[in-house]
Amino acid sequence: MAFLKGEVSRSGFSIRHLKPVKVAVIGVGNVGSATAYGLLLSGLAAEIVLVDLNKKKAEGEAMDLSHAVPFSRQTHIRCGQYADCADASIVIITAGLNQKPGQTRMDLVKSNVAIFQELVPQIAHYAPETILLVATNPVDVLTYTTWKLSGFPIHRVIGSGTTLDTARFRFELGQYYNIDPQSVHADIIGEHGDTELPVWSLASISGMPLKDFCQQSSLKYDNDGMQQCFLATKNAAYDIIQRKGWTDKGIATCLVRIVETILRDEDTLLTVSTVRSYPGVGHTAFSVPSKVTRDGAFQTFELRLDAEEEEQLKKSAESISSVISSLDLP
């Protein structure tokens, strides 16, 4: 079972007191249920609470997941209500309408903002000290919405952002170069959507810039091939949705990784979405590498982008900001 650490004294000795970790998942559709399953297999949480307007669905998912416990990790999984978010270390929000074939993520704005206006204040009321992790699309707009509606400090409202895009990008580059994607260090930043951009100027394999890696490996550096890797990344959701109707496994794995980073206080740099003030744009939410800790997500440095990337990032931030400004938020 998973626990948070704290100090207590027993019989004159200093020992570790372990507090069970609770994680709540709001919305148990495809992404929410896959995330709960990933959490169960990871063993990160001692208790997983599933909350959904369709209570029978949540009950069924809790029952099904509970039957996997004997072959995975000892975890208490149950259906709950918003009040059961109390004392949760992290509340993961996956509730909302899903992207359908032919839709962009931004097409979901009005419907999903309305849903968040109902659920976020309730979560904030019952779990005022939790970290909110948003996965619902359009995730950048909804990360900003969650921050405004919750009243939480910026560092405790985190969107999944471009963590999935970054994973897809590293996978594509790994396939292209026939190398383990974990040896690839390349990020997608900006919007989780059509205005996202690759940071080619800082991309590397085992510490070597891509062009240097190609030279050392007697490979040709092909700009067209690199662009195809990015386009495959950018269009991945559309391609998957066209084939199976939704995406869930990739994003669920990213959410579990973010949860792991928080609970283990890893100080890992992840391309999560957070609210920030961007020069010439004002407050908005988008992704750049941020330090993720037990306390939340923090931008501890500025990326040294080239001029073209700086311009693309500004356009991405402006695109998100223009949607946010059209919303009726407090």
28 is in an annotated binding site: yes
Q: Is 81 helix (H, G, I), strand (E, B) or coil?
A: coil
Active site residue 185: no
Pairing assessment for the beta strands 188-189 and 184-185 based on DSSP bridges = unpaired
Q: In Å, how far are 94, 109, 136, 226, 323 from 115, measured between CA atoms?
A: 11, 10, 11, 39, 17
CB atoms within 10 A of CB 201: 13
Question: b/e per residue, 166-199, with b = 16+ CB within 10 A?
Answer: bbbbbbbbbebbeeebeebbbbbbbbbbebbbbb
Is the peptide bond prior to 138 cis by the omega test (within 30 degrees of 0)? yes
User: Rounded distance, CA 138 to CA 232, Å?
Assistant: 20
52 is in an annotated binding site: yes
27 is in an annotated binding site: yes
32 is in an annotated binding site: yes
29 is in an annotated binding site: yes
H-helix or E-strand spanning residue 132: strand 131-134
Is-contact 140 321, C-beta < 8 A?
no
Query: Long-range contacts for 166-175 (Cβ within 8 Å, ≥24 apart)?
Result: 166/271, 167/250, 167/253, 167/254, 168/232, 168/233, 168/236, 168/250, 169/198, 169/229, 169/230, 169/233, 172/229, 172/230, 172/232, 172/233, 173/203, 173/205, 173/229
Q: In Å, how far are 109, 146, 170 from 149, measured between CA atoms?
A: 15, 5, 34
User: Rounded distance, CA 73 to CA 20, Å?
Assistant: 14
**Active-site option among 67, 125, 192, 283:** 192
Feature table: binding site for NAD(+):
27-32, 52, 112
Catalytic residues: 192
Feature table: binding site:
27-32, 52, 112
